[in-house]
Chains A and B, each alone.
Chain A
Amino acid sequence: LAKTTQPISMDSYEGQEVNITCSHNNIATNDYITWYQQFPSQGPRFIIQGYKTKVTNEVASLFIPADRKSSTLSLPRVSLSDTAVYYCLPRYNQGGKLIFGQGTELSVKP
């Protein structure tokens, strides 16, 4: 059964590094794992996507092990404005399903 699993919530303080791990078994071998950020009353917004190993952009890094059964979003030096819900989105082999994780609510405190 395809299921995407993330922690429900995480707390952090300003300036810390935050790592959010998502588990996803049996995902499609030829597609990206994508992460999104959502603020209240807004649509999700793309953060980063990767296929394997490590990807880095101006806001985050994404680590994907060789077996692609999980992925870890890394936010360096978070600020209060990073308080949001973070979702991972892989595509599964079963019928090519796109299944969002349940979202990780990150709370950054001063």
Chain B
Amino acid sequence: DTAVSQTPKYLVTQMGNDKSIKCEQNLGHDTMYWYKQDSKKFLKIMFSYNNKELIINETVPNRFSPKSPDKAHLNLHINSLELGDSAVYFCASSQRTGTRSYNEQFFGPGTRLTVL
């Protein structure tokens, strides 16, 4: 069983379109994340949810909207796609323990988004 899964694995689309990426974790974790990895391999956090509540919202365009229907899912919807959105998007999950907020994160396989 895959711990953190993402769909689709590849996404090729035209500028201006709206698309969604889905993420599911079966680890029972209470915290989920979205990261963007650009062509230079920089990994940057975009959002984090804890128990379906948004706790990290980095400076990303408001065309990006995360949605967490339950603790096991965190989807990413992107409106009006732009060329600069082309990247690999990773979902991850972790479990908070005591005062340690950010423990070991388990990453999904990534979604490679190409905007033409």
**A interface vs B, CB < 8 Å?**
28, 30-32, 34, 36, 38, 41-46, 49, 51, 85, 87, 89, 91, 96-100, 102-103, 105
Contacts and interface: CB of A to CB of B under 8 A. Distances in A.
Nearest to B110: A43
Nearest to B42: A102
Contacts of A99: 45
Q: On chain B, which size bracket covers the interface?
A: 20 to 34
A32 B106 contact: no
B105 A31 contact: no
Contacts, number: 64
B43 A30 contact: no
Interface of B: 4, 40-45, 48, 56, 58, 90, 92, 99-110
B92 to A, nearest CB: 7
Contacts of B41: 38, 85, 102-103, 105
B105 A34 contact: yes
